Amino acid sequence: MYTNEMLESMKKVEAARAANASFEPRRMTAEEKDILLKTYHPDYKENEFAVLQIGPNKGDKVPTELAALLQANSRVNPAEIDLSAPDYDVDVLIIGGGGAGASAAIEADNNGAKTMIVTKLRLGDANTMMAEGGIQAADKPNDSPAIHYLDAFGGGHFAAKPELLYKLVTEAPEAIQWLNDLGVEFDKDKDGTMITTHGGGTSRKRMHAAKDYSGAEIMRTLRDEVLNREIPVVDFTAAIELILDENGKAAGAVLMNMETQEILVAKAKTVIIATGGAGRLHYQGFPTSNHYGATADGLILGYRAGAKLLYADTLQYHPTGAAYPEQIFGALVTEKVRSLGAKLINVDGEAFMHPLETRDVSAASIIRECSTNGKGVHTPGGVGVWLDTPMIELKNGEGTIEKRIPAMMRMFAKYDIDIRKEPILVYPTLHYQNGGLDITADGMTGVENLFVAGEAVGGIHGRNRLMGNSLLDIIVFGRNAGRNASEKSKSVTVGKLSLEHVNKFAAEAEAAGIHSDIVSPKLLPDYARKK
């Protein structure tokens, strides 16, 4: 139930609604944003990071929780694994069954490769399924891939790898076309024109959507296509260590059945890591909008095998996680709510910022409003600011919410909150892993025949990602990895399989005086209550 403070504040929001709706808050200057981020963004909290003592990124800082996993013990004892009779022998092994993995599988299959997906949960259990707001592509006449490039490059603090970002923006329209041809239902006008909106930090309206089920619509279509092609999917089976061959090239993975713990060996000519993000590591104690399986497994696997990380110290905190009611604490409230016209309002009913700043700036601004400025709204379990959803219908007419953001309406309606009539409370939630494994434009890491796609990649977006560029990157780089890994597999002869790199990594830890009592990859968060 709402507290008195919440009810009082809600009255102020309602009273100021008409004025706030027509008020256009100014955007912050570059300097203001810099200071704001350095003071309030969680990425800048020095004591939340640790310096890696071993591995390819020795000397670099990463979140404390990630460092612990990267430098932890393997789940396997190489001496106990029989690599001589693999259970699976394929051309392309894809680890992860989300949007990137499925896209890669479809393209590898197109290219005639014997392809297999392993996933620790089900095909489609991924952050892709939960992406709500949309997917960017510069396909309108007033837009161009160059403008898209500038938006993303600036939004990512000029840190993206240019060759990756070039690929992202130039292949974006084709990615939309590919999805459309597979049967994805994008929101369109009667004449076929895509209905597009802004996202935070975009300078053109290039956000394509499928209501607020954009990711779900894409994921279920890709899943259906993988099944139609009868590409083998080994589900409830996690990759727990990569296998290299005697020449140090990626050559498969050690797998574990999640339910029976049976160990299996998959041999492959090329391997694609498409394991997604890390929200379930709950960096800095944040709640997360991520899928149950988002535990950075691919980063651990790749790192132990010698692949480098890039920007592993930058995370995205989505500005609008649900702050109330507690049952959905941390769940994503899509940015599309702001794209459609809802503004961020403080306890006194003031629109304290422009609603479409980039995500890192918006998150930091909300944290400032709730801390130093003391203008947050206290809930029974925390604090938040209002996202004034009724403004959407004030601006776009009645029925807009049900038509454009039905998932949001449903999520809150389950707790008797009608977002058409009442504002909702939000606070930043851990949303996206900006960094990941370092790749070249062909999708390959420094470890030969080891490819990466999707959220496990670092460097496509730089140090912050714009809304709608992640659904885009899983398609563009998923397809890219699928094509290149399958092409490469045609000329690969796999040498003798080896887990020697696991021994070597353990020895390096020993030499550095690291004595960890945990094993990694983590696979699933541990939410079971211990008495």
Partner 1 sequence: MEQMVNVFLMGKKYEVPSSLTIMKAMEYAGYQLIRGCGCRNGFCGACATIYRIKGDRELKVCLACQTQVQDNMYVATLPFFPLVKQVYDIEKIKPTEQIMMQLYPEIYSCIGCNACTKSCTQGLNVMQYIAYAQRGEYEKCAEESFDCVMCGVCSSRCPAGISHPQVAMLARRLTGKYLAPKSQHLEDRVKEIREGTFEELLENLMQKPIEEMQELYNHREIEK
The DSSP secondary structure of 140-188, one letter per residue, reads STT--HHHHHHHHHHHTTT-S-HHHHHHHHHSHHHHHHHHHHHT----B
Q: Is position 124 an interface residue for partner 1 (rule: CB under 8 A)?
A: yes
The footprint of partner 1 on residues 13-32 (CB under 8 A) is 27, 29-30
Q: Which residue in the set 331, 441, 506, 514 belongs to the binding site for partner 1 (CB under 8 A)?
A: 331
CA distance 74 to 508: 13
Question: CA–CA separation, 196 vs 136, rounded Å?
Answer: 9
> Shortest distance, CB of residue 311 to partner 1, whole angstroms?
16
Which of 108, 242, 328, 387 lies at the binding interface for partner 1 (CB under 8 A)?
Answer: 328
Nearer Cβ to partner 1 (50/195): 195
- Nearest-angstrom CA–CA distance, 30 and 493: 52
Could you say whether residue 58 binds partner 1 (CB under 8 A)? Answer: no
User: Is residue 440 involved in binding partner 1 (CB under 8 A)?
Assistant: no
Kindly tell me which residue out of 100, 117, 169, 383 binds partner 1, with binding defined by CB under 8 A. Answer: 169
By beta-carbon proximity to partner 1, the closer residue of 152 and 296 is 152
User: Binding to partner 1 by residue 183, rule CB under 8 A?
Assistant: yes
* Residue 391 is a binding residue for partner 1 (CB under 8 A): no
Provide the annotated active-site residues: 318, 338
25/406 with CB nearer partner 1: 406
Task: Tell me the C-alpha distance between 243 and 266, whole Å.
Answer: 8
Q: By CB under 8 A, is residue 418 in contact with partner 1?
A: no
Q: What are phi and psi of 91, to 5 degrees?
A: -80, -55
Question: Residue 46 or residue 526: which is nearer to partner 1 going by CB?
Answer: 526
> Please, which residue, 49 or 186, has the CB nearer to partner 1?
186
DSSP for residue 284: G
Rounded to whole angstroms, the Cα distance separating 133 from 207 reads 8
| Inter-residue long-range contacts of 509-513, CB under 8 Å, 24+ positions, other chains counted | 509/54, 509/71, 512/53, 512/54
Neighbouring CB atoms inside 10 A of 392's CB total 25
Q: Where are the alpha helices (DSSP H) in 397-522?
A: 400-404, 406-413, 469-489, 500-511
- Range 190-249, binding partner 1 (CB under 8 A): 190-194, 198, 203-205, 211, 213, 215-217, 220-221, 224-225, 227-228, 230, 236
Least Å from the CB of residue 130 to partner 1: 5
Instruction: Tell me the H-state helices in 41-83.
Output: 64-70
Binding positions for partner 1, 75-114, rule CB under 8 A: none
Q: Which of 21, 76, 182, 264 binds partner 1 (CB under 8 A)?
A: 182
Among candidate residues 76, 115, 124, 127, the one with its CA nearest the CA of residue 97: 124
Question: Footprint of partner 1 on residues 349-388 (CB under 8 A)?
Answer: none
Q: Nearer Cβ to partner 1, position 167 or 304?
A: 167
| Selected binder of partner 1 within 176, 243, 253, 377 (CB under 8 A) | 176
Output the smallest distance, CB 358 to partner 1, in A: 11
Applying the rule CB under 8 A, the residues between 454 and 473 that interact with partner 1 are none
DSSP per residue, 322-365 = E-SSGGGTT-B--THHHHTT--EE-TTS-B-S-TTS-HHHHHHH
Own/partner pairs for 168-174, CB < 8 Å, 24+ apart?
168/460, 168/469, 168/472, 168/473, 168/476, 168/477, 169/138, 169/145, 170/145, 171/476, 171/480, 172/136, 172/137, 172/138, 172/139, 172/145, 172/148, 172/472, 172/476, 173/137, 173/138, 173/139, 173/145
* Residue 410 makes contact with partner 1 by CB under 8 A: yes
Total chain residues near partner 1 (CB under 8 A): 88
Assigned token pair, 7: 């009810």
Binding mask 131-160 for partner 1 (x = CB under 8 A): ------xxxxxx-xxxx-xxx-xx---x--
- Shortest distance, position 29 Cβ to partner 1, whole Å: 8
Interaction between residue 426 and partner 1 (CB under 8 A): no
Q: Residue 186 and residue 208: Cα distance in Å, rounded?
A: 7
Q: Which of 46, 80, 82, 181 binds partner 1 (CB under 8 A)?
A: 181
Q: Does 524 bind partner 1 (CB under 8 A)?
A: yes
- Measured from the CB atom, is 61 or 204 closer to partner 1? 204
Footprint (CB under 8 A) of partner 1, residues 286-315: 289, 291-292
Tell me if residue 254 falls in helix, strand or coil.
strand
- Using the minimum distance from each CB to partner 1, give the nearer residue, 389 or 429: 429
Instruction: Please identify, among the stretches 52-60, 175-183, 344-352, 512-520, the one whose residues bind partner 1 according to the rule CB under 8 A.
Output: 175-183
B/e letters for 271-288, b = 16+ CB within 10 Å, e = fewer, are bbbbbbbbbbbebbebbb
For residue 63, the cross-strand partners are: 49
Q: How far apart are CA 80 and CA 256, in angstroms?
A: 14
Nearest approach in angstroms of CB 464 to partner 1 is: 13
| Cβ-based nearer residue to partner 1, 157 or 249 | 157
For partner 1, which is the closer residue by CB, 199 or 435?
Answer: 199
**140 φ, ψ (degrees, to nearest 5):** -95, 155
Least Å from the CB of residue 54 to partner 1: 30
Considering the complex, what minimum distance in angstroms separates the CB of residue 331 from partner 1? 5
3-state secondary structure of 435: coil
Could you say which of 411, 417, 492, 509 contacts partner 1 (CB under 8 A)? Answer: 411
Q: Which stretch binds partner 1 (CB under 8 A): 14-22, 454-462, 489-497, 519-527?
A: 519-527
